[in-house]
Each structure stands twice: as structure tokens, then as C-alpha cells.
Amino acid sequence: METKVYDINENNPDLSILKCAAKVIKSGGTVVFPTETVYGLGADALNPEAVLKIFAAKGRPQDNPLIIHVAHTNIEKYVREVPKSAQLLMDKFWPGPLTIIMKKSDVIPDVITAGMDSVAIRMPSNKIAGKLIELSEVPIAAPSANISGRPSPTNIKHVIDDLLGRVDVILGGGRTNVGLESTVIDVTGRPTILRPGGITLEQLKAVLGEVFIDPAIMKAADENLKPRSPGMKYRHYSPKAFMYIVEGEQKKVINKINELSLKSKNEGLKAGILATDETIKKYLNGYILSMGSRENTDTIAASLFDRLREFDELNVDVIYAESIPEEDIGLAVMNRMKKAAGYNVIRV
């Protein structure tokens, strides 16, 4: 398949390019586009045959539901009803990195929802994404634009590395802002976070009061689990190298990683160390990268997937990563890191 690649400016997007991309969506094709979270691989959410092309391009299991992206808050056509809790969240956080699960209407194909009676919807704040959806005149189904299981793409290079020749169009729009996928909250019952992301638990509680966290978020999924949200079941976000997370008091973590990286070196292995700005100079062996500052965990969220892909380019054999506190956006960061590491956690 020939893939057309365009790099456009989010602040002044070329409408002629976006109109061509929207035409591809309308004709049942696939378009990669930037959002504020990560790049998405989109197709017409109301066209089952087009949606199947997403699964094929990514190598994604079809029991893993998709999120549909809209350009406005008038979503009554796609859901049975808009619960009060959903309306409160839409008013506060849309457009933005929050996905809301509600009971679906009959217009949403079963291939989107893996046969479930609910649908995940979000309204991205990225101007390129918003205009593409508006011009397409349909909701766009879009998981992250990467080969299934790989770290999610935060710039056009990542997308080209994974999907060139697998999709019809790639729209580049610079580096994404949040760097992690959207928060997913299910409001079909008591409000429950199914995937942490750019909108934190604390922010959601400030609007709704009581908000629960699905216990599956921070542990390895049962292979028999029927996922209610993307990111709940399958291997995700993983670099090519084996990855371990080291948890504990910071000084002990540094000592343990230094011990492990030296052992790897003596065994002839190339070790990568995923550090923070505050600790990067305390490591002695291997390829050492900082994922950001502990004083500003938004920087860690924004760069995590970039660093994992950098380790791929460095061809390291093993990665040792510091943990960070599971607070605010740190909950989402650790969710992604633990999945990337296959829940290989060393506690010291």
C-alpha cells in the first residue's frame, strides 16, 4: 500500500490537505492523525469494513474495543442516553484527554465495541484532529497509531517507523503534548477509571465526588478477561528489550540499578537505565536516559514513550527503570511502565 505523508502545522493547518484526508475517511480508508495524547490511527467509526482495516494495520486483536473521536458534544446519536455524570465531565474536560464510556446506540457497529453494549467516546483538543473529524462528518474510530504492543507514537517518526505502507495517509503535526493515552472512565454504573491518563483521579473526584479505580489497572490481566477499555488486557507499550522496574526508597533503587547494570555489562549485555533528572548522574553503567523530572511528573508522562523507543534504537538488551509515586499523573505513568515491563517489578 502506498502511504501519503503530510507534515502540517497545528496552529495553521492546511485545509486542502485535511479535506483530502477527510475524503479518505469518507471513502473507507485509514488516516493517522495527531491528538494531544498520542497519534491515532483513524477510520470511519460507522463503517465496519473501514474499522476492520484498523485492526489489520495494527495487528490488533478484535476483542480489544476502540474509542470513537468526535468534534462536538452532541453525541446523542451514538449513545442511548447521556448520564448526568457524563455531562458534567464533558462540560469540564472536553475537548481534552478524557474518554467516557456510555451505553451505545444501535448506530455504533459491534466491531467498535467488541460486541459489548457500551461505547467509549472522546473529543480531542488537538486542532488537526478536531478539523479532520469535522470535515469527515462522521465519528472517527482511532486507537494509537502503532503496531499493537509497541510504545505509543508521540511524533510522526514513530508512526512512519510502524505504519508506513500499512495505512493510506499519515498526517504529522509535531510532538504530542500529554504523551500518554486518554483517561478512560466508565459511567454506565458507578464512575470507574478503566485506564488512567491525562485527566487524573483527583481531577475527576473534584467534579464527581466518588470515583473508583478498576483493580485490573495495576496488575497483569487475566488472559480470559473481556476488556471493557483499550489497554486493559493485552501486552502494551513494550520496548524490544526486557524491562524491569525497581521500586523502593530512592537511594536503594539507585544502588540496585547500578548493581544490575554492572551485572548485565559483565554478562556482555547492553543495559539501558531509565532515570529521572534528579538521579541521572548517579548511574555508572549502560545507556542512561532521563524520562523527566520528579518535580514535574507531566514531563515524565510526555517523554516516557519517546525514551522507550530511543532504547530500541540503541539496541539495548535489558532496561532497568526507576519507579515514581503513583499519584496524580504518576498513576498513569506507572500503569504504562508496568505494562511495558510485563509487570516485572523488583522491590528493594
Annotated binding site for ATP: 60, 64, 144, 152, 195, 237
HEC string of 35-72 equals CCCCCEEEEECCCHHHHHHHHHHHCCCCCCCCEEECCC
CA dist list (Å): 170 to 6, 162, 165: 6, 11, 10
- State the Cα–Cα distance between residues 336 and 326, nearest whole angstrom: 11
Q: CA 82, 38, 170 angle in degrees (round to 5)?
A: 110
- State the Cα–Cα distance between residues 197 and 195, nearest whole angstrom: 6
Q: CA 104, 230, 197 angle in degrees (round to 5)?
A: 105
Asked if 236 and 150 touch (Cβ cutoff 8 Å), the reply is no
- State the Cα–Cα distance between residues 228 and 115, nearest whole angstrom: 10
Asked if 183 and 195 touch (Cβ cutoff 8 Å), the reply is yes
Asked if 170 and 163 touch (Cβ cutoff 8 Å), the reply is yes
**Residues annotated as binding site?**
37, 60, 64, 69, 122, 142, 144, 152, 182, 195, 237
CA dist list (Å): 336 to 78, 218, 220: 29, 9, 12
**Residues annotated as binding site for L-threonine?**
37, 69, 122, 142, 182
Beta strands 287-290 and 271-275, pairing class = parallel
- State the Cα–Cα distance between residues 202 and 327, nearest whole angstrom: 9
Asked if 184 and 195 touch (Cβ cutoff 8 Å), the reply is yes
